[in-house]
Structure 1
Amino acid sequence: MKHLSTNQHDNAPAAADLTAADYIRLLHPTDGVGKVSFVLIRSRNETITKTYSVDTAPVIVDALLDESTYVSLNRFNGPRTSSRLAQFNALYLDLDVHTLPGSNQLPDHWAGSFASDLRAKNLPQPSVLISTGRGLAAIWLLEPLPAKARSRWSATMQALIKLFRHMGADSACSDCARVFRVPGTINLKSGTEVRTMDGTLRRYKFDVLSDCIFIASGRPTRRKLKEIRQLKKKGTVATTQENRRGLTPKARFTMIARDLDKIVVHWGGRVPLGHRNTFLHLLATCLTHTGPASEIETHVRRIAAVAVLDLSGREISGIIKSAETKAQESCSSDPGLDGRLHYSGAKVAELLNISDSLACELSLEQTFSETERARRKAGRERNRRRDQGACSREEWLAINSASRGKPWQLAGISRSKWYEQGHHKISPSQ
């Protein structure tokens, strides 16, 4: 039986209220390899798995809507087990918003908060967003990714989940054999129909989407890690913090925290609309590097009470919880091994819309673009060389260019003879 949605509304997004068959076709197009599995949960002790080809799955799904039915998001060679994985089809999040403060809010409220959070982190909206009856399921469909990319897929899933733990992201929802509820079925725990709410309906390139997730996490991209490994093989990258050039994470995030104070003063003491979540998240991230986790909540709430007045207590608590979790993870001077977030100064400037001219005006220490960073570095290098007695090329040529002055003519000898006799080694004052 096909259930009728009670949530139809005008001007709905294209992905809203998809039929079960259309959802299966979207999730599992006919290209690629592998089969689709449905899991029917009839009781605590009775679970049935049925596996179909991608052609048959959309046809058969309507007959399964009277059951508590789930569908696999990836594809398998036969029964749905990790060892039989055929290809990766998606990245996904199971958001248990019913466990968060304010859980009585409608799904549209949580969907709006999630969309805003994605924009703040510069991440694309999911291909499809589902109201599961008690929470949300976000799915980013992928262009077919072979099973041999398992380690890269798993690392990206872990990073994605950590980014949204403050919104109830289920850490157990990270395995490739995961199944999600089928739209049109009823969640027996809440008595609510499962339905699609929103989404781009797009399929994303895995490498591009993965890089976006790692950048949002403050971690190096795959290309950056490859460059670091190549440099280490050549012996051009120091392996200890004592020999590594540049600031320690603690020193750098201490500077960023001072920059944030200056930026708030420039804003008149109040963080403007559109930057409140991002600003407080960046502040909390700084605290994960500069002090003990026990002080994060006190400091964040103190700043929020003064500069971020309109942010809800639920949102503030989510930011604090996420930061405290990060602060308790593995710490390393190498961002690739550190569980904490490592935003660059350029990324902070981009997130808060800080221009280079404003960064100079406010004397910011880290929060500016890579272009401004290169300009400042070049200026420091010029000053260092000047302090060591170096002069400009024009000055050097004016003093040392024998070709311009032609002193051998004044000596009444040829040029070659002048150099042969060593006159070029004698300073003019001698």
Structure 2
Amino acid sequence: MKHSSPSCRRNSPAAADLSATDYVRLLHPSGSIGKVSFTIIRSRDEAITRTYSVETAPIIAESLLDESTYLTLNRFSGPRGGGRLAQINTLYLDLDVHRLPGSNQPHEHWVEKLHMELDAKSIPRPSVVTFTGRGLAAIWLIDPLPKQARPRWSACLSCLIGLFKHLGADSACSDVARVFRVPGTTNLKTGQEVRTVDGTLRRYRFDDLADRIFEAAGRPTRRQLSNRKAEQAEKPRSGEPRGLAPRKRFAMISSDLDKIVSHWGGHVPEGKRNTFLHLVATCLTHTAPEAEIENEIFSTAAIATPGLSEREVVGIIRSAERQAQKACSSTPALDGRLHYTGARIAELLEIPDDVARALGLEQVISEEERARRKASREKGRRQAAGAKSRDEWLSQNSASREQPWRAAGMSRTKWYELGLHKVPRDT
């Protein structure tokens, strides 16, 4: 098979008319991680894949030019396949310009159009542009990425394809195992030679290239997303429980229960014993290891609820152990264990607000007492910030109520224009 040489074309770009060997070496430099696959299309129903090391592949390429041969753009641990991805090496566009109006234009026209679009979008020009026999393949070489970066790479490639849909970018050409035609082969559909026609030969840093692509699409860059994430982390997250985590809240409830039983003289009154021990057990399901629950409940029962039978105590223990084995989540609605509000516990144990205040209870309080405390804290916060009480404000802003402009025989507007509101008045 006869192949054109660089000397046949004057004033060619740096990447024009690369030999198959140089093309493979450019894409897959010696020492790179992973292997390279060639796919040889023999017929509609027959395709052969051959896999070589990055050192051997350039040598083999020249022997495959008499067939319809394609090359992987990324590298794999064996024959090409997403599950064997070893290293991500490129971003690329398969431009089906032959499907566009004006498809009879020479490939130079479409290369120039691609350049204009890229320059307008501030996206670097491709490392290699190949004329595939009827369309163009644009390849951006990137500093190799590990396979873990595949989601970021996929998002960037999808964005790039979207930017160039109007130039025939094929959305199906978005998988890591994609292969492109090898320069020097012939496109059997058109009978034209595949050859490299343009390119910078540069290898780009992925994050920089991706930022340019996302900016062109009006989407946030990785740095901007990182900054947003940091800002969001500092804000209360909607959809997540507000306030204390269950473990900390039930530790505070447990402390309140200790204060309450001390207030009762160390023994829970008859009629509340079973409820009290059940609440202690519920706290333990949130705050103690399952193996310690039984001993803790027995110890509490011996001191605080001596009137309960062993059968009742064991029943509470077994129930708590079953609860402790259920789903654990910081969201009460998703947590399989029991949850009680402080107001409900105050109601069950009949703890009035004045007792809650006297004992310094933090969680076992009514909704009314909780609201009163919140209002008191807010008032203190406003006062610390310099806010004035209503009486103080009215004493300094009484003009609207007293209407001194009437006594002066003028309108309110005139009174303020003359600055009389600044003149001290007798009180």
TM-score, normalisation: structure 2: 0.55
Please state how far the C-alpha of 1:8 moved relative to its aligned partner: 3.4
Q: Within 5 Å, give how 1:256-275 maps onto structure 2.
A: none
CA distance change for structure 1 residues 63 and 238 in 2, over 3 Å: closer, same or farther? Answer: same
Query: C-alpha separation between the residues in 2 aligned to 1:238 and 1:117?
Result: 41
Tell me if structure 1 keeps the 8 A contact 2:40–2:70.
Answer: yes
Please state how far the C-alpha of 1:7 moved relative to its aligned partner: 9.5
The residue that corresponds to 2:145 in the other structure is: 145
Query: C-alpha separation between the residues in 2 aligned to 1:210 and 1:195?
Result: 27
Structure with the greater alpha carbon radius of gyration = 2
CA distance change for structure 1 residues 141 and 96 in 2, over 3 Å: closer, same or farther? Answer: same
Q: Which amino acid aligns with 1:190?
A: T
The residue that corresponds to 1:103 in the other structure is: 103
The residue that corresponds to 1:130 in the other structure is: 130
Query: C-alpha separation between the residues in 1 aligned to 2:180 and 2:7?
Result: 20
Tell me if structure 1 keeps the 8 A contact 2:32–2:54.
Answer: no
Q: Within 5 Å, give how 1:286-301 maps onto structure 2.
A: none
Query: C-alpha separation between the residues in 2 aligned to 1:132 and 1:238?
Result: 52
The residue that corresponds to 2:218 in the other structure is: 218
The residue that corresponds to 1:13 in the other structure is: 13
Query: C-alpha separation between the residues in 1 aligned to 2:170 and 2:198?
Result: 20
The residue that corresponds to 1:28 in the other structure is: 28
Query: C-alpha separation between the residues in 1 aligned to 2:238 and 2:98?
Result: 47
The residue that corresponds to 1:4 in the other structure is: 4
Q: Within 5 Å, give how 1:390-409 maps onto structure 2.
A: none
The residue that corresponds to 2:179 in the other structure is: 179
Q: Equivalent residue of 2:8, what SS?
A: coil
Aligned length: 243
Please state how far the C-alpha of 1:97 moved relative to its aligned partner: 0.1
The residue that corresponds to 1:159 in the other structure is: 159
Tell me if structure 2 keeps the 8 A contact 1:186–1:193.
Answer: yes
Q: Within 5 Å, give how 1:301-312 maps onto structure 2.
A: none
The residue that corresponds to 1:80 in the other structure is: 80
Please state how far the C-alpha of 1:5 moved relative to its aligned partner: 5.2
Tell me if structure 2 keeps the 8 A contact 1:185–1:194.
Answer: yes
Q: Equivalent residue of 2:143, what SS?
A: strand
Query: C-alpha separation between the residues in 2 aligned to 1:19 and 1:237?
Result: 57
Tell me if structure 2 keeps the 8 A contact 1:18–1:196.
Answer: yes
Q: Equivalent residue of 1:133, what SS?
A: coil
Q: Equivalent residue of 1:78, what SS?
A: coil
Query: C-alpha separation between the residues in 1 aligned to 2:139 and 2:21?
Result: 17
Tell me if structure 2 keeps the 8 A contact 1:2–1:65.
Answer: no
Query: C-alpha separation between the residues in 1 aligned to 2:194 and 2:42?
Result: 17
Query: C-alpha separation between the residues in 2 aligned to 1:138 and 1:205?
Result: 17
Q: Equivalent residue of 1:189, what SS?
A: coil
Query: C-alpha separation between the residues in 2 aligned to 1:89 and 1:135?
Result: 22
Q: Equivalent residue of 1:102, what SS?
A: coil
Q: Could you list the runs of 4 or more consecutive aligned residues of structure 1 that deviate by over 3 angstroms after TM superposition?
A: 5-8, 236-239, 427-430
Q: Equivalent residue of 2:70, what SS?
A: strand
CA distance change for structure 1 residues 2 and 152 in 2, over 3 Å: closer, same or farther? Answer: farther
Query: C-alpha separation between the residues in 1 aligned to 2:142 and 2:237?
Result: 35
RMSD over aligned CA atoms reads 1.9
Query: C-alpha separation between the residues in 2 aligned to 1:48 and 1:7?
Result: 34
Query: C-alpha separation between the residues in 2 aligned to 1:216 and 1:236?
Result: 32
Please state how far the C-alpha of 1:230 moved relative to its aligned partner: 1.8
Q: Within 5 Å, give how 1:18-57 maps onto structure 2.
A: 18-57=18-57
Q: Equivalent residue of 1:138, what SS?
A: strand
Gaps of 5+ in 2: 240-421
Query: C-alpha separation between the residues in 2 aligned to 1:205 and 1:167?
Result: 25
Please state how far the C-alpha of 1:2 moved relative to its aligned partner: 6.0
Q: Equivalent residue of 1:21, what SS?
A: helix
Q: Equivalent residue of 1:40, what SS?
A: strand
CA distance change for structure 1 residues 165 and 176 in 2, over 3 Å: closer, same or farther? Answer: same
Tell me if structure 2 keeps the 8 A contact 1:5–1:195.
Answer: no
Please state how far the C-alpha of 1:228 moved relative to its aligned partner: 1.2
Q: Within 5 Å, give how 1:328-339 maps onto structure 2.
A: none
Query: C-alpha separation between the residues in 1 aligned to 2:195 and 2:40?
Result: 18
Q: Which amino acid aligns with 2:56?
A: T
Q: Equivalent residue of 1:87, what SS?
A: strand
Q: Which amino acid aligns with 1:35?
A: K
Query: C-alpha separation between the residues in 2 aligned to 1:45 and 1:5?
Result: 33
Q: Equivalent residue of 2:26, what SS?
A: helix
The residue that corresponds to 1:420 in the other structure is: none
The residue that corresponds to 1:235 in the other structure is: 235
Tell me if structure 2 keeps the 8 A contact 1:232–1:238.
Answer: no
Q: Within 5 Å, give how 1:66-77 maps onto structure 2.
A: 66-77=66-77
Please state how far the C-alpha of 1:236 moved relative to its aligned partner: 7.1
Query: C-alpha separation between the residues in 2 aligned to 1:6 and 1:209?
Result: 30
The residue that corresponds to 1:379 in the other structure is: none
Query: C-alpha separation between the residues in 2 aligned to 1:7 and 1:215?
Result: 40
The residue that corresponds to 1:381 in the other structure is: none
Please state how far the C-alpha of 1:231 moved relative to its aligned partner: 1.4
Listed one character per residue, the Cα deviations across residues 6-57 of structure 1 (whole Å, up to 9, x for unaligned) are 9932111111000000000001001320000000000001000000000000
Listed one character per residue, the Cα deviations across residues 257-316 of structure 1 (whole Å, up to 9, x for unaligned) are xxxxxxxxxxxxxxxxxxxxxxxxxxxxxxxxxxxxxxxxxxxxxxxxxxxxxxxxxxxx
The residue that corresponds to 1:421 in the other structure is: none
